[in-house]
Chain A
C-alpha cells in the first residue's frame, strides 16, 4: 500500500526547482549576448522547472516513484547543464560535464515507461551502454580537455568559452581530438539512434490503449535523440553555427516537451481509468448474470476477448455457463488476473496479453466487480445444481411414467382379460344351469377359481406398486417378507427402527429391494445377503451386503439401477453408494436424513 508523499516534501521539491530555475535564468541573463538574453534565460528556467514540476506531479499522482525522482534528477541535471552559460571556468566546466548526464537519464525514463522497469534485454543493453560510455568515455575527457567542443546546445558561447577547470594534465593529448572525440561522438550518435529505434519498437508492441499515453512521450524522446544525433553530425561536418543553433533549440526544447507530454500521458491514463471504472461501477448495479458482467468488464477494458472463470470445489474452474475450463491457460496470448489479488480467488479475469501493461486497471476493475462476482459465483453453482435436480426430476418422471405404463399394461393384459373371459363364461354358465343344473354348478365353481387367480394377479400388482405390509407395519416387516421369498438366504437386522413418513419408508424399501434384486441377478456365488437398518437419531441408515464375487467399481457399468436408487434417495435428501471389491462381496449403503425438513412420524 503506497503511502501518500507528504505534502511538505512535494512543496519543498517544487520550491527547489523554482529556485534552481531562477538561478539558471540569472546565469543566462548575466552571461548571454543581448539578442539571446531573454530567450536563453527563459529556456534555462523552463528546462529546470519543467522536468521538476512533472516529477513532483508524478510523485503526487503516485506513478511508480522512480519516474518522479528521475524527472526531478533530470531537472537538477538541466540546472547544472545550464551553468554552461556561465563565464566562470569552474561553473562552465561543471555545466559541460553535467550535460552528459541528461542522455542516460532520458534513455532510462523513456525505455522504462510506464512500468518503471526495463523489460527487454535490448533496452537494458542500451541503457547500460549509455552509462558505460558516459562513465568510461566522456567523464575521463573532463581531465584531459583544454577546451570543450563548441558549439554546444547548452551555451551560446562559441569561440570565447572559458577553459576547462578540471584539466589535470599539462597538455591536451593529441589523440583526444584526432581519435577519442570522433570515436565518442560516433558512439554517442549510434547510441542515440538505437534508443530511437528501441522507442519506436515499444510503441509498435504496445496495446492500443497504451499507445495513446506512449506516443507523445516517445515522440519527445525521439525528437531529442534524433535532433542531438543530427547536431553532432552537423557540427562535425562544420555547418555554420546559425543553422546549428536551430538544431540546438530543437534539442533543448524537446526536454520540456517531454516533461509536459509525460504529465499529459499520466493524466490521460488516470482519466481513462476513472471513466472506465465509473462506467463499470454504474453498470454493476444492473448485472444479473455472468454474461452481462463479462460484457461490462470487456467494455471497461476495451478488450472484447475478456472471459471470466469461476472456481468450484474440487479445484475445477467453470466459465459463465457452467462448463469446465482448464487453468492455467495454455494460450500465450492471454493473461489472467485473480480477484481478489490476495487470498482465495472468487473469480479470474482472462484478457488479451496486449493489456499486460494495464495490469493496475485490470486489478481495479476486478476489485470493483468483486462483490458482484461473489454473488454470480453462487448463481453459477446454483444453476449447476438446478440443472442436476432438473435432470434427476426428468429421470424420475420418466421412470414414473414407465411404471404407470407397465401397470396399465399389466392390468389390461392380465386382470382385465381374465375378467372379460370370466364375464363370458358366467353368462354361459347362467344359460347352462337351466338345462343342466349340476354341470352349471360345476362350471360356476370353476369360474370361482378363475376369480381367485385374477385376485392374486391384481394383489401382486398392487404389492409391486406399494406393498400394504410396508404401510401397515413399516420397513422391518416389509423387508423381512421379501427376504423370505428371495432365492438367496437373506437376514434382516434392525436397530432403533421406527416408523417414518411415507416417502422415506418407500425410498428405503424400494432401494433395498433393488439392491436385493441386483444381488440375486449379478452376485456370483452369493450364499447370503444381510440387510441392516439403523436409526441414529439423525439418519436412517441401511446397507444390503452380499458375500458374492464382488466387482471392480470404477470399471463396472453403472446401470440404470444405481441411477434409479440415487434418484429415489436424492428426492428425500438421502444418498446411496456402493462398496465392492473382487472376492469381498458387495455392499450397497444408503442413508436418509430423518430430522429437519422431513420430520419424524410420531
Chain B
C-alpha cells in the first residue's frame, strides 16, 4: 500500500515541486496538493492521508493552528510542519503542538521523504 501524502502550501510552484517529488518516490502517492488550511480540512475529511506536509506560514491560518485542528479530528494523521526558515528560528509553539516533525522545504526530495517516513514509523 503506497503511503498517501497531502501537501498544504500557499506557494504554487512549491506545490508543483512537491507533487513531482512524491511522484518520483516509489511507495508514495499524492493525496493532493492544496493551497490553504480550509482546503486541507476538506481534503482530509474526504479521505484521510497517512502524512500531511503543512506550511507553517499561510495567510488564512498558520500551520500550527491547522495542525491542532487536524489532530483533533483525525489523530491518526501524521503532520510534518515545513518552512523555509531555520528550525532554530521557529516559535516554540511548533514543538508543543502535535506535529510529528519539523522540516525544511528545501530538503524535500525522494530520499529525504523515505528517511522521514522511516523515522516517523520508528518513533
Contacts and interface: CB of A to CB of B under 8 A. Distances in A.
B92 interface: yes
Given A452-B106, A455-B106, A468-B57, A463 B89 contact: yes
A67 to B, nearest CB: 89
Nearest to B86: A459
B106 A481 contact: no
Interface string A448-484: 0001100100010001000111001100010001001
B84 A477 contact: no
B88 A468 contact: no
Contact of A477 (B62, B86, B91): B91
B92 A477 contact: yes
Q: Which of A468, A477, A481, A484 has the most CB of B within 10 A?
A: A468
Given A451-B106, A452-B106, A459 B92 contact: no
A153 B98 CA distance: 126
Contacts of B88: 481, 484
Contact of A472 (B84, B86, B90, B106): B90
Given A468-B57, A469-B89, A477-B91, A459 B106 contact: no
Contacts of A472: 56-57, 62, 90-91
Contact of A469 (B62, B84, B91, B106): B91
A472 B91 CA distance: 7
A459 B91 contact: no
A477 B88 CA distance: 11
A366 B106 CA distance: 77
Given A451-B106, A455-B106, A468 B92 contact: no
Contact of B84 (A455, A467, A484): A455
A475 to B, nearest CB: 12
Contacts of A477: 91-92
B27 interface: no
Nearest to B109: A448
Interface in B42-76: 56-57, 62
A481 B94 CA distance: 14
Contacts of B56: 472
A285 to B, nearest CB: 58
Interface residues of B, number: 13
Nearest to A471: B57
B1 interface: no
A455 B106 CA distance: 9
Interface in B65-118: 84-86, 88-93, 106
B43 to A, nearest CB: 25
B84 A459 contact: yes
A481 B88 CA distance: 8
Contacts of A455: 84, 106
A277 to B, nearest CB: 70
A248 B84 CA distance: 118
Nearest to A451: B106
Contacts of A469: 89-91
B59 to A, nearest CB: 13
Nearest to A473: B91
Q: Which of B62, B90, B93 has the most CB of A within 10 A?
A: B90
Contacts of B85: 459, 468
B31 to A, nearest CB: 27
Contacts of B57: 468, 472
Contacts of A459: 84-86
A452 B90 CA distance: 18
A473 B93 contact: yes
Q: Which of B56, B85, B89 has the most CB of A within 10 A?
A: B89
Given A455-B84, A459-B84, A467 B106 contact: no
A484 B106 CA distance: 25
A478 to B, nearest CB: 9
A477 B93 CA distance: 10
A366 B90 CA distance: 67
Nearest to A477: B91
Contacts of B62: 472
A472 B93 CA distance: 10
Nearest to B88: A481
Contact of B89 (A451, A452, A467): A467
A77 to B, nearest CB: 104
B89 A468 contact: yes
B97 to A, nearest CB: 13
A541 to B, nearest CB: 23
A451 B89 CA distance: 20
Nearest to A452: B106
Contacts of A468: 57, 85, 89
A414 to B, nearest CB: 17
Contacts of B92: 473, 477
Given A455-B106, A473-B93, A481-B89, 19 more contacts: A451-B106, A455-B84, A459-B84, A459-B85, A463-B89, A468-B57, A468-B89, A469-B89, A469-B90, A469-B91, A472-B56, A472-B57, A472-B62, A472-B91, A473-B91, A473-B92, A477-B92, A481-B88, A484-B88
**What 4 pairs across the A-B complex have the smallest Cβ distances?**
A473-B91, A472-B91, A469-B89, A477-B91
25 contacts: A451-B106, A452-B106, A455-B84, A459-B84, A459-B86, A463-B89, A467-B89, A468-B57, A468-B85, A468-B89, A469-B89, A469-B90, A469-B91, A472-B57, A472-B62, A472-B90, A472-B91, A473-B91, A473-B92, A473-B93, A477-B91, A477-B92, A481-B88, A481-B89, A484-B88
Interface of B: 56-57, 62, 84-86, 88-93, 106
